[in-house]
Chains A and B, each alone.
Chain A
Amino acid sequence: MTAAGLDPRGPRFGAGITAALLLVAVGLALPTASAVPATVAGRAAQPAFLLAALLTALFLWGALAGVGRHPWGLLFRALVRPRLGPPAELEDPAAPTFAQAVGAFVMILGVVLHLAGVPWGLAGAAAAAFVAAFLNAVFGYCLGCQLYLLLVRSGLVRGGSRPRQP
Chain B
Amino acid sequence: MTDLAVATALAGLVVATTLLGLLWKSRQGRVSPAAGTRQLDLPGVALDGRTTFVQFSSPVCSACRSTARLLDELSTGHPGVGHVELDVTDHPELASRLNIMQTPTTLLVGGDGILRARFNGAAPAVTVREQLDSALSGSAVPSAGAAR
Q: Interface on A for B, CB 8 Å cutoff?
A: 8, 23, 26-27, 30-31, 33-34, 88-89, 91-92, 94-96, 98-99, 127, 130-131, 134-135, 138-142, 144-146, 148-149, 152-153, 155, 157-159, 162-163
Contacts and interface: CB of A to CB of B under 8 A. Distances in A.
A149 B101 contact: yes
Contacts of A140: 62-63
B24 to A, nearest CB: 6
Given A148-B60, A149-B101, A139 B10 contact: no
Given A23-B10, A146-B102, A155-B92, A98 B18 contact: no
Contacts of A134: 14, 17-18, 21
A149 B14 contact: no
A159 B89 CA distance: 5
B21 A139 contact: yes
B76 interface: no
Contacts of A33: 1
A30 B21 CA distance: 24
B139 interface: no
Interface string B56-91: 001111110110010000000000000000011110
B60 A130 contact: no
A152 B92 contact: yes
Nearest to B6: A30
Given A149-B95, A149-B103, A152-B95, A163 B18 contact: no
A153 B91 CA distance: 9
Interface in B38-72: 58-63, 65-66, 69
Contact of B58 (A26, A27, A96, A149): A149
Given A141-B24, A158-B89, 18 more contacts: A8-B62, A23-B13, A31-B1, A96-B62, A127-B13, A134-B18, A134-B21, A135-B20, A138-B18, A140-B63, A145-B62, A145-B63, A148-B58, A149-B101, A149-B102, A152-B89, A153-B88, A153-B92
B59 A130 contact: no
Contacts of B66: 88-89
